């Protein structure tokens, strides 16, 4: 399987923060979710991939160095960033007229179909759009030149569940249409990733915590709820983090079947991606 993105030892230093040795791949035909709390380094990672932020390490897109082949690479990428530029004083129709000359693969019909699907006006100034409407316009713009790779930073932020569901369906269809395509998706709405992602990359305080297939993460991880007496019987090497509640302990394990057999524990809850993330961030060891 080829990789559309390859990161090796990505490092970027700021005053008071360091993104250190981030390594992961985004394979063809896959959606990779990038998670972590605010300030963890997700946006720095994405901007480094796009060469907006200059960082150390090896970054390859479509097997090519992201700096040496930047102009060629970016013709095949669709990008949605929180601060990406869409002039407030343009209409969707005017954006189409400008962008269709910039991309040889621009699909005008697809763009207008997406505008219709998202209930976006063609003649209204962007400055009069709500934040949700602006995000939908960015997504329509990113997809309509049929890129091989989508890089999305919080693309469903501020959208209601119905519209989010529509957008996730569009992302699924985008991958299904061409198995050489990929999506790198950074989001705080981790429930979205449970439905569409193939891999989860978790970054915390500038360091990578894990890079795992989503199904493996959800199948192997578990949350044990037990008394203090039972908690003290469990070897520290058999769990990741714990949280002490008023009347019980909650324990996160990455191998629930091993825990179940070793300690004869019958009930182990299935965690969400958000549960797992919060245990790593706020739990004790």
The first and second tokens of residue 122, run together, are 């063609």
Rounded to whole angstroms, the Cα distance separating 230 from 236 reads 13
CB 24 within 8 A of CB 73: no
Specify the pairing of strand 17-27 against strand 3-14. Answer: antiparallel
Residue whose C-alpha is closest to residue 99's, from 128, 138, 65? 138
Instruction: Identify the pLDDT of residue 198.
Output: 97
Helix 131-143 vs helix 108-117: crossing angle, to nearest 10? 150
Residue whose C-alpha is closest to residue 147's, from 78, 220, 196, 247? 78
Output the CA angle 243-218-132, nearest 5 degrees: 90
pTM: 0.93
Going by the DSSP 8-state scheme, the letter that residue 125 receives in this structure is B
Low-confidence ranges of the chain (pLDDT < 70): 83-85
């Amino acid at each position: 399987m080829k990789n559309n993105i390859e990161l090796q030892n990505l490092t970027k230093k700021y005053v008071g923060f360091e993104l250190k040795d981030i390594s992961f791949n985004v394979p063809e035909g896959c959606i990779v979710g990038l998670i972590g709390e605010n300030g963890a380094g997700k946006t720095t990672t994405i901007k480094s991939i796009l060469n907006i932020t200059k960082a150390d390490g090896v970054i390859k897109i479509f097997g090519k160095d992201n700096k040496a082949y930047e102009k060629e690479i970016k013709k095949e990428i669709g990008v949605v960033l929180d601060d990406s530029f869409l002039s407030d004083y343009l209409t969707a129709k005017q954006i189409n007229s400008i962008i269709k000359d910039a991309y040889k693969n621009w699909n005008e019909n697809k763009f207008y179909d997406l505008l219709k699907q998202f209930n976006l006006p063609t003649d209204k100034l962007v400055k009069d759009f709500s934040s949700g409407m602006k995000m939908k316009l960015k997504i329509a713009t990113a997809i309509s030149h049929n890129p091989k790779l989508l890089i999305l930073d919080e693309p469903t932020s501020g959208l209601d569940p119905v519209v989010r569901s529509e957008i996730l369906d569009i992302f699924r269809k985008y991958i299904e249409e061409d198995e050489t395509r990929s999506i790198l998706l950074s989001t705080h709405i981790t429930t979205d990733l449970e439905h569409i992602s193939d891999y989860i990359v978790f970054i915390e305080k500038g360091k990578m915590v894990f890079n795992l297939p989503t199904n493996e993460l959800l199948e192997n991880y578990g949350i044990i709820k037990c008394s203090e007496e039972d908690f003290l019987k469990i070897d520290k090497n058999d769990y990741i983090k714990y949280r002490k509640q008023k009347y019980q302990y909650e324990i996160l394990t990455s191998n629930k079947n091993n825990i179940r057999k070793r300690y004869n524990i019958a009930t182990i809850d299935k965690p969400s991606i958000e549960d797992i993330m919060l245990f790593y961030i706020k739990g004790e060891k």
